[in-house]
């Protein structure tokens, strides 16, 4: 699978989600006390949205890695390019979850825990995920000799529109 193997992707993404879920569960216990069955649904929300954040960061990182052979530079550029959109998404989701008021205690707790989970997911996407990628430290991407569909990269033309091109 080239430089970013399936094993590396599973290592980084799986650990990112597992550690974030444990931290979110701990925050949930601290914020709302004992959890009821409805408030445990935060795990599903956390995994889904945290995986989405991780996918957004990882795809941008892979595109940047094709443009730059330096791992550190690719990680920094990826964080810079997805920082604002993911900040907006995480903030909107956290506020929406935290503002949920319901007469049923379980749903109110679910909102508070899910709101905390969005903050944890956002924080770990920009701190833990790049650290795990660096630990995995896979080989540099080499477009030569790979099938054409693997060489497609996403690039911005500077005007805000996206185009797909072969290197």
Token digits for 48?
């889904």
| pLDDT for residue 136 | 75
**pTM over cut 0.75:** no
Distance (Å, rounded) from C-alpha 41 to C-alpha 43? 5
- Cβ contacts of 153-160, under 8 Å, gap ≥ 24: 153/63, 153/66, 153/67, 154/59, 154/63, 155/63, 155/67
The tens place of each residue's pLDDT in the chain, 167 residues long, gives: 444 544 555 566 677 788 888 998 898 889 888 888 887 788 888 888 888 888 888 888 888 888 877 888 888 888 899 999 999 999 998 888 888 776 777 788 888 888 888 999 999 989 888 888 887 755 444 444 444 444 444 444 444 444 444 44
Tell me how far CA of residue 19 lies from CA of 61, 99, 115, 121, 134, in angstroms: 21, 25, 17, 10, 17
pLDDT tens digits, one per residue of 100-141: 776 777 788 888 888 888 999 999 989 888 888 887 755 444
The sign of the torsion formed by the CA atoms of 79, 46, 85, 9 equals positive
């Amino acid at each position: 699978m080239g430089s970013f193997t399936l094993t590396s992707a599973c290592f980084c993404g799986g650990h990112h989600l597992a550690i974030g879920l444990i931290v979110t569960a701990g925050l949930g216990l601290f914020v709302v006390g004992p959890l009821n069955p409805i408030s445990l649904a935060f795990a599903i929300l956390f995994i889904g949205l945290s995986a989405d954040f991780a996918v957004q960061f990882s795809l941008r990182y892979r595109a940047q890695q094709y443009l730059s052979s330096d791992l550190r530079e690719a990680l920094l550029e990826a964080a810079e390019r997805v920082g604002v959109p993911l900040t907006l998404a995480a903030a909107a989701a956290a506020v929406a979850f935290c503002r949920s008021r319901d007469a049923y205690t379980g749903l109110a707790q679910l909102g508070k825990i899910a709101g905390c989970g969005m903050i944890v997911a956002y924080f770990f996407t920009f701190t833990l995920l790049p650290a795990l990628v660096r630990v995995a430290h896979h080989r540099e991407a080499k477009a030569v000799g790979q099938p054409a569909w693997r060489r497609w990269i996403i690039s911005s033309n500077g005007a805000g529109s996206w185009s797909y091109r072969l290197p």
